């Protein structure tokens, strides 16, 4: 690798290596200029748009309940601000130092997931994935586990290798074993959606790390086999089976599991090309779609902003993926590439699953729409992921 | 970065782009291509149609007195659909409801089961999707108990509804004429366009009989439709569209409650009197008709019943006990549905037929005690011989043999047992012209035709009964022969005659027809109409009960005009002659006993008795009349089944009705100057359910209500 010299590059080199003649914070501030500003603006646009949608989804029901109509919106904005703070913090951190903290992060994630299974955990919407802290705050450890997984896999599969194109057998097996533990814990909650995200992240990161095709094929085959076994041995909860059958035919039981799917489709479909106008959605106003500010936020966009607005959201999310993959390909090292890849796989799968379930092409699982849905843990986790992308980008290779 | 990683990143690019394109494509399909469909579904999703029942119109008499009105009642209804969704099929809910209503669980569950083959009442004959009323006399306290604990009573509603009530002004019931309401059936509901019945706590009732059925469409009104916007919990958040119900029109009838009450009372007392004389007197009817217009002033049928038993459902036991055969089937209106041999009252038609056939109206004819029709001797009533007489006297003393002679001679002219190609059958033809044997066209459902037997009828009847007759002719009647060999031999002879030539129109058939016997059957209404035609100079009016439909504000929506009256093919002079004959009957004829002491100076009654023999039963007692004889206004006809002679049972009933109408024997007259008073202006308001405007009575315009001149 050769480096082109120049003032910009020298500064970059300084950031990459040790800390030169200037002060640490000055250098880090200078690094701001190397941020992916397009990504920043995209995420900002999604967050602001999401906040409007959250207000639309909640003000009517809060008014009906005699509460502050903007109550949830205010909390969401606060969550976003904290999230951006977290993202910024992750950005300025040297991501390569993360490697040192991976065991701690991993341990924390597993501990959190374990705690959920103890009496500390609580059940919200049929999913036992929350720890209620008190004062109206609750934490969903599985969201942070996604971050942990990405960093863990990046460390295991991104080890500098000599001569080998991809990770060795030991690396892959270790990665699978270590990823399997939190995945199993999440499956026990049960949280099918997050488990699927894990699968997507593992597959994507293994692929990009250069693992042999037979590993990938084996993983896909094993996944299918597991799915079959789960179905065959009746390991799924009744509500999950209901959701799957409801996915196949939402009108079968409109007041039961199929109700969500059907109402979501009605809300989106009735939006037509230009929508009914922000805050004007009749299905949204009558809160026909359950969980509308979180998992079904996209239905608000579909109904009130129509195809045009919904497409803009998809384009913005697409921009996030594109910038993420661009960051992956420009990363200074394989570790950075894998971190960015992991984040993109996570966000891409979650986006597809979330929007897919609202338009009836995916079964219903409890996954929020990245950067748009109302949420605490999810927002924080998404922003940390966003910070990771920026961190990799700031320390990118400077040629291409 | 090695090339494999680079390549796989590119694959990831493509994969992500593909996934997002799939989403966008799906969105395009849903929102743009199928957008219209989803809009519609969303609208249905968001709104509920609530049918607001219209207040049914009331039924009034000619002076605005309420024959049927609405009472507001708290009605508890049960929705089968909601109940069946309960885990135990609603058993617990019904149990709790039974406790609150103070009935048994079994009673309730029977009331809400659906009627069908093999299921006895109580059961629900209406639509299964309609809430089923289980109690319409709930106290407000109990209704509150149910409404406040909706979680304990899913599918149970308590709502204010209008329920039919029968105030019986002047003691007038007119139950069979008014008819009754029953829940609408699913089939009928399907026919009614565009009425999606959701959230409708009302009972959709439909007129099943009487005026309620005939004028159902106008009485029912138009139910309102409220389209409400609901949220996901079904809570109403607003009203999208509100079409208020149009209350039903009020039906003004020509029934006069005073006369109706008097007729019912006269009929009942005549029947009770007949029973004290040992008559069976199982049924009867009394009709008062305006002879000029055909409007019915009173129509009483015995036995009767209280129509309020229909509200809130009726059990099989109640049905059997109140409306069954044992009680004489009080639902059957003897006026329009009773068919009886008319006896001598029929002679008005026969006189006209004889004169029309060439017999001299003013001639004299012999009235022997018995007249040989072919080989059989046909006797006068009790075999009395009266010597030579004119037709006037023939009517007054009710001579039969004169009519036998006419009928026999006509029959012979038609060829006897070997009939001409086109026999004229003047008596049959005339009877048909008088409206016998066909429906009068009254505005009441279920009217029967009666029967005028003729050659065609004889043949079809013979075809239907030949087998039995031939069997009787062959085997005789061994069971009867054991106790009464003479009778068995008689029956055998009749059977063999019927078996061989029962299709023939025999001399005896013609003779029987001439005096309203044999196979002749008429309804009291047909006879009333015939006597009205005699009275009004030959116009065969079409009877009407309804006179007008009034809007709730009192204005006239529609006048109910009787169809054009047909003219009898009878010279008015002949009718005048008949009227003269009939005028003598109550004074000096067969009804003289019944009208002894009657003030003919105040109202000259003309009439004719009838005593119809019925095989195996007591005679049917008839008295058909009109008054005043000189300038007739009303026809009054009474019939008492198994009441004996016309003079002993029916005539006194008619006399009592006249006395009430004209205020004789110290009674207050119901008629002023021989007329019913016109409806007074300003009718009592009829209270609807709360929230509904009061329903005003009919207009006080002269000529709308009340008898026409």
Lowest model confidence (mean pLDDT) among A190-194, B254-258, B649-653: A190-194
Cβ proximity of B538 and B292 under 8 Å: no
Nearest-neighbour CA in chain B from A400: distance (Å): 11
Whether residue B473 is predicted with pLDDT greater than 90 in this model: the reply is no
Residue B648 pLDDT:
93
A352 inside 8 A of chain B by CB:
yes
Whether residue B624 is predicted with pLDDT greater than 70 in this model: the reply is yes
Q: How far apart are the first and last CA of chain A?
A: 11
How much is the ipTM here? Answer: 0.89
Contacts of A204 in chain B (CB under 8 A): 12
Cβ proximity of B291 and B633 under 8 Å: yes
Cα distance between residue B343 and residue A6, in whole Å? 134
How many C-beta atoms surround the C-beta of residue B92 within 10 A?
A: 13
pLDDT grade, residue B208 (50/70/90)? Answer: confident
Candidates B58, B53, B51, B162; CA nearest to B552 is: B58
- Give the residue, B480 or A29, on which the prediction is more confident: B480
Q: CA dist A337 to A11, A326, A386, A399, B445, Å?
A: 22, 9, 14, 15, 90
Residue B356 pLDDT:
92
Residue B702 pLDDT:
32
Q: Which residue on chain A is closest to B8 by alpha carbon?
A: A208
Contacts of A334 in chain B (CB under 8 A): 1, 5
Task: Count how many residues are written for chain A.
Answer: 400
Cβ proximity of B508 and B376 under 8 Å: yes
Whether residue B448 is predicted with pLDDT greater than 70 in this model: the reply is yes
Mind listing the pLDDT tens digit for each residue in B304-345?
998 888 876 677 777 777 778 888 889 999 999 999 999 999
Mind listing the pLDDT tens digit for each residue in B501-535?
888 898 999 999 999 998 999 999 999 999 999 99
- Distance of alpha carbon B460 from the chain centroid: 29
Cα distance between residue A61 and residue A54, in whole Å? 12
DSSP per-residue string spanning B422-481: S---HHHHHHHHTTTTS----SSTT----B---HHHHHHHHHHHHHHHHHHHHH--HHHH
Shortest CB distance from B23 goes to which of A165, A272, A355?
A: A355
Cα distance between residue A186 and residue A112, in whole Å? 10
Residue B664 pLDDT:
81
Whether residue B303 has a cis bond before it, omega within 30° of 0:
yes
Cβ proximity of B259 and B272 under 8 Å: no
Cα distance between residue B523 and residue A85, in whole Å? 99
Mind listing the pLDDT tens digit for each residue in B8-50?
999 999 999 999 999 999 999 999 999 899 988 888 877 777 6
Cα distance between residue B581 and residue B398, in whole Å? 10
The pairing of strands B156-165 and A121-124 is: unpaired
Radius of gyration of chain B (CA): 33
B179-203 mean pLDDT: 61
Cα distance between residue B629 and residue B603, in whole Å? 8
Residue B5 DSSP SS3: helix
Candidates B471, B470, B476; CA nearest to B499 is: B470
Q: Which residue on chain A is closest to B23 by alpha carbon?
A: A356
Residue B593 pLDDT:
92
Place of tokens 């999810």: A378
B76-97 mean pLDDT: 82
Whether residue B707 is predicted with pLDDT greater than 80 in this model: the reply is no
Positive or negative torsion for Cα B414, B417, B420, B422: positive
Shortest CB distance from A325 goes to which of B13, B27, B30?
A: B13
Cβ proximity of B680 and B624 under 8 Å: no
Shortest CB distance from A210 goes to which of B2, B27, B232?
A: B2
Q: CB under 8 Å to A231, separation ≥6 — which residues?
A: none
Region for B703 from its dihedrals, namely left if φ exceeds 0, alpha if ψ lies in -120 to 50, beta otherwise? left
Residue B312 pLDDT:
64
- Give the residue, B357 or B239, on which the prediction is more confident: B357
Give the residues of chain A that fall short of pLDDT 70: 1-31, 125-127, 135-136, 162-163, 233-257, 399-400
Whether residue B301 is predicted with pLDDT greater than 80 in this model: the reply is yes
A316 inside 8 A of chain B by CB:
no
Strand partners, B207: B181
Residue A12 pLDDT:
44
Structure tokens at A76: 């969401």
According to the 3-state scheme, what is the secondary structure of chain A?
CCCCCCHHHHHHHHHHCCCCCCCHHHHHHHHHHHCCHHHHHHHHHHHHHHHHHHHHHHHHHHHHCCCCCCHHHHHHHHHHHHHHHHHHHHHHCCHHHHHHHHHHHHHHHHHHHHHHHCCCEEEECCEEEEEEEECCEEECHHHHHHHHHHHHHHHHHCCCCCCCCCCCHHHHHHHHHHHHHHHHHHHHCCCHHHHHHHHHHHHHHHHHHCCCHHHHHHHHHHHHHHHHHHHHCCCCCHHHHHHHHHHHCHHHCCCCCHHHHHHHHHHHHCCCCCCCCCCCCHHHHCCCCCCCCCCCHHHHHHHHHHHHHHHHHHHHHHHHHHHHHHHHHHCCCHHHHHHHHHHHHHHHHHHHHHHHHHCCCCCCCCCCCCCCCCCCHHHHHHHHHHHHHHHHHHCCCCCC
A270 inside 8 A of chain B by CB:
yes
Positive or negative torsion for Cα B322, B323, B324, B327: positive
Cα distance between residue A171 and residue A150, in whole Å? 15
Cα distance between residue A243 and residue B706, in whole Å? 71
DSSP per-residue string spanning B692-705: SPPBP-----BTTB
CB contact under 8 Å between B38 and A263, yes or no, is no
B542-568 mean pLDDT: 91
- Chain A and chain B share a number of CB contacts under 8 A equal to 139
Q: Which residue on chain B is closest to A362 by alpha carbon?
A: B23
Cα distance between residue B661 and residue B253, in whole Å? 18
Q: CB under 8 Å to A227, separation ≥6 — which residues?
A: none
Place of tokens 């059925």: B213
Mean pLDDT, chain B, as a whole number?
A: 84
DSSP per-residue string spanning B562-628: PPPPEEPSS-HHHHHHHHHHHHHHHHHSTTTTTTTT--TTT---EEEEEEE--TTSPPEEEEEEEES
Nearest-neighbour CA in chain A from B31: distance (Å): 4
Tell me the residues of chain B between 195 and 254 that have a Cβ less than 8 Å away from chain A.
Answer: 229-232, 237
Region for B644 from its dihedrals, namely left if φ exceeds 0, alpha if ψ lies in -120 to 50, beta otherwise? left
Listed in sequence order, the DSSP H helices in B63-126 are: 80-84, 91-101, 105-111
How many C-beta atoms surround the C-beta of residue B681 within 10 A?
A: 12
Using a pLDDT cut of 70, give the percent of chain B over it.
Answer: 89
Structure tokens at B479: 């069971």
Phi, psi of B228 (to 5 degrees): -105, 150
Tell me the residues of chain A between 102 and 141 that have a Cβ less than 8 Å away from chain B.
Answer: none
Angle at B505 between CA B501 and CA B508, to 5 degrees: 100
Cα distance between residue A190 and residue A222, in whole Å? 20
Cα distance between residue A260 and residue B255, in whole Å? 62
Candidates B307, B330, B530; CA nearest to B430 is: B530
Strand partners, B625: B607, B636
Q: In terms of C-beta density within 10 A (0-12 exposed, 13-18 middle, 19 or more buried), how is residue A177 classed?
A: exposed
Q: What is the dihedral of CA B27, B28, B31, B36, to 10 degrees?
A: -140
- Give the helix/strand (H/E) hosting B158: strand B156-165
Nearest-neighbour CA in chain A from B12: distance (Å): 8
Tell me the residues of chain A between 147 and 166 that have a Cβ less than 8 Å away from chain B.
Answer: 165-166
Task: Count how many residues are written for chain B.
Answer: 709
Q: At what angle do helices A258-269 and A334-358 cross, to 10 degrees?
A: 90
Candidates B168, B125, B497; CA nearest to B300 is: B168
CB contact under 8 Å between B230 and A286, yes or no, is yes
Structure tokens at B678: 């016109």
Cα distance between residue B108 and residue B102, in whole Å? 10
Place of tokens 């007591």: B618
CB contact under 8 Å between A272 and B31, yes or no, is yes
């Amino acid at each position: 690798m050769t480096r082109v010299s120049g003032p910009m590059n020298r500064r970059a080199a300084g950031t990459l290596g040790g800390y030169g003649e200037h002060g640490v914070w000055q250098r880090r501030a200078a690094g701001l200029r190397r941020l992916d500003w397009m990504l920043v603006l995209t995420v900002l646009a999604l967050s602001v748009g999401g906040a409007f949608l959250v207000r639309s989804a909640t003000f009517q029901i809060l008014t009906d309940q005699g509460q502050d109509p903007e109550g949830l919106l205010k909390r969401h904005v606060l969550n976003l601000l904290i999230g951006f703070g977290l993202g910024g913090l992750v950005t300025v951190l040297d991501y390569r130092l993360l490697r040192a903290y991976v065991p701690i992060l991993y341990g924390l994630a597993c501990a959190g997931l374990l705690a959920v299974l103890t009496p500390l955990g609580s059940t919200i919407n049929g999913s036992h994935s929350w720890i209620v802290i008190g004062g109206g705050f609750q934490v969903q450890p599985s969201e942070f586990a996604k971050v942990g997984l990405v960093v863990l896999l990046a460390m295991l599969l991104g080890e500098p290798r000599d001569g080998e194109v991809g990770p060795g057998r030991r690396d892959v097996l270790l990665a699978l074993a270590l990823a399997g533990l939190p995945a199993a814990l999440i499956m026990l909650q049960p949280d099918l959606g997050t488990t699927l995200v894990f699968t997507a992240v593992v597959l994507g990161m293994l692929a990009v790390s250069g693992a042999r095709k037979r590993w990938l094929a084996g993983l896909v085959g094993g996944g299918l086999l597991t799915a079959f076994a789960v179905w065959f041995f009746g390991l799924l909860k009744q509500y999950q089976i209901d959701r799957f059958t409801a996915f196949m035919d939402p009108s079968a039981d409109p007041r039961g599991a199929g109700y969500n799917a059907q109402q979501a489709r009605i809300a989106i479909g009735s939006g037509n090309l230009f929508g009914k106008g922000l805050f004007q959605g009749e299905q949204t106003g009558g809160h026909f779609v359950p969980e509308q500010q979180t998992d079904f936020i996209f239905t608000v966009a579909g109904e009130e902003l129509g195809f045009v607005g919904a497409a803009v959201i998809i384009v913005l999310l697409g921009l996030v993926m594109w910038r993420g993959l661009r960051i992956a390909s420009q990363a200074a090292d394989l570790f950075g590439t894998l971190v960015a890849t992991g984040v993109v796989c996570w966000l891409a799968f979650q986006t597809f699953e979330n929007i897919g379930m609202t338009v009836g092409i995916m079964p219903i699982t409890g996954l929020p729409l990245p950067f748009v849905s109302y949420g605490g843990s999810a927002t924080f986790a998404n922003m940390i992921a966003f910070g990771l992308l920026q961190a990799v980008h700031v320390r990118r290779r400077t040629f291409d | 970065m090695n090339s494999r990683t680079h390549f796989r990143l590119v694959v990831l690019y493509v994969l992500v782009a593909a996934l997002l394109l799939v989403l966008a494509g799906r969105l395009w399909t849903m929102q743009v291509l199928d957008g219209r469909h989803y809009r519609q579904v969303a609208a249905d999703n968001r709104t509920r149609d609530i049918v607001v029942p219209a207040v049914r119109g009331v039924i009034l008499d000619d002076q605005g007195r309420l024959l049927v009105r609405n009472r507001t009642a708290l009605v508890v209804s049960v929705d089968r659909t909601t109940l069946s969704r309960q885990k135990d099929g609603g058993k617990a809910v019904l149990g709790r409801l039974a406790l609150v209503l103070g009935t048994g669980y079994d009673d309730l569950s029977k009331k809400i089961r659906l009627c069908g083959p093999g299921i006895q009442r109580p059961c629900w004959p209406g639509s299964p999707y309609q809430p089923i009323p289980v109690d319409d006399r709930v106290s407000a306290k109990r209704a509150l108990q149910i409404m406040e604990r909706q979680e304990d009573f899913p599918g149970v509603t308590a709502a204010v509804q209008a329920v039919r009530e029968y105030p019986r002004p002047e003691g007038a019931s007119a139950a069979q004429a008014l008819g009754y309401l029953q829940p609408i059936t699913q089939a009928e509901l399907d026919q009614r366009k565009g009425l999606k019945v959701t959230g409708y706590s009302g009972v959709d009732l439909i007129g099943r009989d009487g005026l309620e059925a005939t004028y159902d469409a106008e009485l029912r009104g138009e139910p309102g439709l409220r389209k409400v916007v609901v949220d996901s919990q079904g809570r109403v958040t607003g009203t999208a569209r509100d079409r208020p119900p149009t209350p039903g029109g009020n039906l003004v009838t020509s029934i006069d409650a005073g006369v109706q009450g008097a007729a019912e009372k006269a009929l009942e007392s005549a029947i009770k009197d007949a029973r004290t004389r040992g008559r069976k007197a199982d049924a009867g009817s009394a009709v008062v008709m305006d002879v000029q217009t055909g409007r019915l002033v009173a129509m009483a049928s015995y036995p009767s019943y209280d129509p309020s038993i229909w509200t809130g459902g009726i059990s099989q036991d109640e049905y059997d006990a109140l409306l069954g055969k044992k009680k004489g089937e009080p639902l059957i209106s003897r006026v329009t549905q009773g068919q009886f041999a008319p006896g001598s009252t029929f002679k008005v038609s026969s006189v006209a037929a004889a004169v029309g056939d060439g017999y001299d109206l003013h001639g004299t004819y012999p009235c022997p005690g018995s007249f040989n029709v072919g080989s059989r001797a046909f006797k006068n009533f009790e075999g009395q011989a009266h010597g030579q007489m004119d037709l006037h006297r023939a009517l007054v003393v009710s001579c039969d043999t004169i009519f036998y002679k006419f009928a026999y001679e006509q029959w012979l002219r038609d060829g006897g047992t070997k009939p001409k190609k086109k026999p004229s059958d003047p008596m049959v033809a005339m009877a048909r012209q008088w409206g016998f044997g066909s429906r009068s066209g009254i505005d009441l459902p279920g009217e029967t035709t009666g029967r005028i037997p003729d050659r065609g009828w004889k043949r079809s009847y013979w075809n239907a009964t030949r087998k039995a007759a031939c069997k009787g002719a062959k085997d005789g009647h061994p069971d009867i022969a054991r106790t009464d060999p003479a009778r068995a031999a008689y029956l055998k002879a009749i059977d063999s005659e019927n078996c061989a030539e029962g299709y023939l129109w025999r001399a005896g058939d013609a003779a029987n027809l001439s005096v309203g016997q044999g196979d002749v059957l008429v309804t009291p209404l047909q006879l009333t109409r015939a006597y009205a035609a005699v009275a009004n100079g030959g116009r065969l009016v079409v009877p009407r009960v309804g006179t007008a439909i009034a809007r709730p504000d009192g204005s006239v929506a529609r006048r109910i005009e009787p169809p054009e009256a047909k003219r009898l093919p009878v010279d008015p002079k002949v009718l005048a002659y008949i009227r003269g004959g009939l005028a003598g009957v109550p004074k000096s004829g067969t009804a003289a006993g019944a009208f002894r002491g009657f003030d003919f100076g105040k109202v000259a009654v003309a009439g004719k008795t009838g005593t119809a023999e019925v095989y195996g039963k007591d005679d049917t007692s008839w008295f058909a009349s009109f008054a005043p004889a000189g300038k007739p206004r009303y026809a009054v006809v009474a019939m008492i089944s198994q009441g004996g002679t016309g003079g002993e049972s029916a005539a006194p009933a008619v006399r009592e009705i006249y006395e009430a109408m004209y205020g004789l024997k110290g009674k207050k007259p119901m008629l002023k100057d021989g007329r019913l008073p016109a409806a007074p202006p300003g009718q009592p308001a009829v209270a609807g359910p709360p929230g509904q405007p009061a329903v005003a009575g009919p207009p006080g315009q002269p000529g709308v209500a009340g008898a026409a001149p």
